[in-house]
Structure 1
C-alpha cells in the first residue's frame, strides 16, 4: 500500500498520469533493441559484401611455386623381378617285375612275390652309384651311370651298346680293369658283377640252365662254380649258374650323383608300380619373363633366387631366354588346380646356380627371381626421372633451386636408371647431394 502511493506520487511529480508511466518504459526498451539489431545486421552485411577489386583478388590463382626433390648419392641397380619354379627335369623310375635267382641257391628257390623289404632313401636324398636304394623280395635296386636305357637282362654271351656301357661303369667304379670294355658279356664281366654285388652286401644274381648229367656231386665247388642238383630219377645234373645283371635291379641315370624325387612305397607294400623316381639331372629353375622385358635380359646376367618359404637366397645367373610361349601351348606348364594353363604369354627363362648345384631344399618351390639388368660400380649422383628434360639442343638438363629461391640450369649426362632414379654427371656448374631440383610445378 505504501509502495503504490509512492509510485503515484512519482508519476504525479513527472507530470504524467499514473497509468502512462509503464507504457513509456516499454517503448524506450523496444527502441533500444531495434537499434541493436540494425547494428548487428550492418556488421554481417559488411562481411559478405565485397568490392569488385576485392572479389578479383580473392579468386586469382596463387603465385607460381615449384615442387622439388633432393639430389642423392647411391649405387643404382636396374632390376627385373619375376617368378620361377623348380622342376625335376627329366626323371627315371624303377619298377621291378621279377626276382632274380641267387648264386648258390637251388633253381626255383627264389621268391615269387614282389614285396618291398627295405627302403633306404627318401625324397631329396643324393643318389650315388652302386648303393642300394630300395630292396624288394631281398633284392636291391641301385643306380648306375648310363645313357642307353636298360631294356633287357644282361647275361653272358650278349653284346651291344648296353653291355659296353655297363662294362665302362664297372671299370669306373673300380670293379674291373680297362681291358674289360669289349662290348661282350664274357667271363671277366661276370667276375666283375660278383665283385659289384658282394660290395653291396647281396647275393650275386645268376642265370640257370641245365647242362646235363655229371655223375658226380659238386657240393664242395667254389661259390662261382656250377651248382649240382639231383633229378627225380636220382641222377645228378649240373645247373650252370652264371652271374648276370637283372633289368629289374638297375636304374640308369646319365650323370651321378642324382636326386631322389619320390619314394611312393613303404616296407611291406606289394610292388604294383614304380618303387622310386630319380631326377636324371639336377633340379631345373625356369622363370616366366614378361615379353616387354626381353631386350633387357641377356645370358650371364646376375640373378638372386629367394625362397619366401624357407628364407634361403642363392646367387645365380641367366642361362638362356626361350621363345615366346602362349597360354595353352603344347608343353606349357600349368598352374591351375584343374591342369589348365593360366596367365599371359611369357618367355621361358632358364637359370642355373652361380656355383655348384641347387640346394635340395628348393625342390618343387615357387621362388622370386631378381635379375640385375644394369648397375653402377660405385655410388653416383642420382635424381628423380621427372627432374630431367631436353631442350632444343637435345641436351639433358635439370633445374637447381637455391635456398633463396633462385634457379639455375645444369646440363647433365644421364646414365643408369633404376627405381625411378637416374644417374647423372654434371657437365656445367656444380651438383651436390642434398641440392634441390625441380620435379614439377
Structure 2
C-alpha cells in the first residue's frame, strides 16, 4: 500500500494539535498548592466606622429594692380590761367582742379592739401601761397619758399626777368613744384606767399588718403585728457600683405594673441598713402566749421584707417623691436606676471601642476623612454611659457627623 507523505504529515499535525489542546485544558484546571493558598487569602481589612454624635450623656447604676411598711411591732394584750378578773362586773374569762381588722390604720386615742364590751385604746408613749391608774398616782406613765390627752384636745392636764383634772378629761375621752370609764366604788367615785385598756406605742398611727385574734377568742396574748403607716424603700448595690453613689442623688423607680416614679438616695452604707430586731425580754407581764414579747407589745423588728445586705453589697435607702404611690406595692420588688453622673448639656460622644489608649496613657480616635484617608485625632475622655464615652478633641479636629473607626472587618 502506497502512503501519501503529505497526508501523513497532516495527520500527525492534527494529532499534535489535539494533544496540545487537551493538555491546555487539563493544565488550566490544575492549581498548585501555592496558587490555591493565595486564592483563599482574606481580602484586605477595612474599617468599621460610626458617626460621632452630639447628645447629653447620663450614667446610672441599678439597684434592686423592696417596698415595705416600716417598724414591724408585735401587739400583745396586757393586764386586765375592765374590773380585775374575778370581780362581779368582769367574768373570769374575757373574750374578744370586736377584733381589729388587718390593713386598718389606727391612730392615737382610737380603739384597737374590744374585750368583753370594754375598749383597748392606743396612745403614744415609750413607757408601757404596767399598772391600773387610780386617783393620786404619779409617774412617767401618767405624764405621757396627760400629753396624749392634750394632743387629742381633752384639756391641758399636766404635772404627772392622776388627779381630778386628769380624770375629768379621761371621762370625756371615753364617753366620746362610746364607753363609760371605769370608776371606783368610793363616794364620790373616782375614775380609774385598768392596765389592759391602753397600749402605749412609741409611734402612731400604726397599720395593722396582720391580725391573729378574732371575735369570740379568749383575750390573751398576741393580737397581731403592726407597722408604721409609712412605707420604706430599701435596696442593695454591688460594692463596685456603690462607690459612685451619694445621698441626694436622683433615682427612677420602675414599679411592678410598668409605671415609673422618682426618688432620691436617702442614705447609703451603715446608715441605710434595716434596724436590727430587738431581743424581747422573756417573762414580762402580759406574755401569756410564751412568745417573749415585751409587756407593752413594742418589741421592734426590722421592716417587713427587709433583709441584711450580702457581704459583697452595700445597703441603700431611698425617699420616694410620692410615698403614697408606693403603698400599693408593699412587699414587692422594684428596679431602681440611680443617676450617678450627667453632662451639663450636649457633648460629642463615640463608642467606647472607638477610643484607643497609647502606652503613655494618651487617648485618640481614628477619623476617616473624605477620600478614605485615616487621621489620628488626640482626645480627652469624659463621662462613660451605655457603651458611649464623652470625647473632646484638643485641636478641634472632631465634629458631629465625622466617622471614627470602631473596629475592622
Instruction: Give the CA deviation at 1:415.
Output: 1.9
Tell me, what secondary structure is at the counterpart of 2:336? strand
Structure-2 change in CA distance of 1:272 and 1:348 (3 Å): same
Q: 1:263-282, aligned counterparts within 5 Å?
A: 263-280=211-228, 282=230
C-alpha RMSD of the superposition: 3.7
Aligned equivalent of 1:244 = 192
1:108 and 2:85 matched? no
| In structure 1, distance between residues paired with 2:40 and 2:255 | 58
Count of residue pairs brought into register by the alignment: 361
Q: 1:204-243, aligned counterparts within 5 Å?
A: 204-206=181-183, 208=184, 226=188, 240=189, 242-243=190-191
Structure-2 change in CA distance of 1:263 and 1:42 (3 Å): farther
| In structure 2, distance between residues paired with 1:402 and 1:192 | 89
| In structure 2, distance between residues paired with 1:293 and 1:171 | 50
Aligned equivalent of 1:81 = 62
Aligned equivalent of 1:144 = 123
Instruction: Give the CA deviation at 1:391.
Output: 4.2
Larger mean CA deviation between 356-365 and 130-139 belongs to 356-365
Structure-2 change in CA distance of 1:314 and 1:49 (3 Å): closer
Structure-2 change in CA distance of 1:342 and 1:348 (3 Å): closer
Instruction: Give the CA deviation at 1:77.
Output: 1.6
Q: 1:23-62, aligned counterparts within 5 Å?
A: 43=25, 46-50=28-32, 52=34, 54-55=35-36, 57-62=38-43
Aligned equivalent of 2:46 = 65
| In structure 1, distance between residues paired with 2:361 and 2:391 | 16
Counterpart pick for 2:267 among 316, 320, 333 = 320
| In structure 2, distance between residues paired with 1:375 and 1:411 | 23
Tell me, what secondary structure is at the counterpart of 2:127? coil
Structure-2 change in CA distance of 1:141 and 1:362 (3 Å): farther
Instruction: Give the CA deviation at 1:204.
Output: 1.4
| In structure 1, distance between residues paired with 2:27 and 2:194 | 111
C-alpha contact (below 8 Å) 1:101/1:107 kept by paired residues: no
Tell me, what secondary structure is at the counterpart of 2:241? helix
1:376 and 2:334 matched? no
Per-residue CA deviation, residues 146-202 of structure 1 (Å, 9 max, x unaligned), is 23333333332222222111111111110112xx22111111111111111112122
Tell me, what secondary structure is at the counterpart of 2:196? helix
Instruction: Give the CA deviation at 1:45.
Output: 6.0
Aligned equivalent of 2:294 = none
Structure-2 change in CA distance of 1:341 and 1:347 (3 Å): closer
| In structure 1, distance between residues paired with 2:210 and 2:227 | 9
Aligned equivalent of 1:181 = 158
C-alpha contact (below 8 Å) 2:100/2:211 kept by paired residues: no
Structure-2 change in CA distance of 1:169 and 1:44 (3 Å): farther
TM, length-normalised to structure 1: 0.70
Structure-2 change in CA distance of 1:437 and 1:89 (3 Å): same
C-alpha contact (below 8 Å) 1:255/1:281 kept by paired residues: no
Counterpart pick for 1:427 among 387, 394, 407 = 394
The answer to which structure, 1 or 2, has the higher relative contact order (CA under 8 A, 6+ apart) is 2
| In structure 2, distance between residues paired with 1:142 and 1:360 | 25
| In structure 1, distance between residues paired with 2:309 and 2:245 | 23
Aligned equivalent of 1:26 = none
Can you give the 5+ residue segments of structure 2 that lack an aligned partner in the other structure?
Answer: 1-17, 279-300
| In structure 2, distance between residues paired with 1:289 and 1:342 | 9
C-alpha contact (below 8 Å) 1:290/1:347 kept by paired residues: yes
Q: Which has the larger radius of gyration?
A: 1
Tell me, what secondary structure is at the counterpart of 2:133? coil
TM, length-normalised to structure 2: 0.75
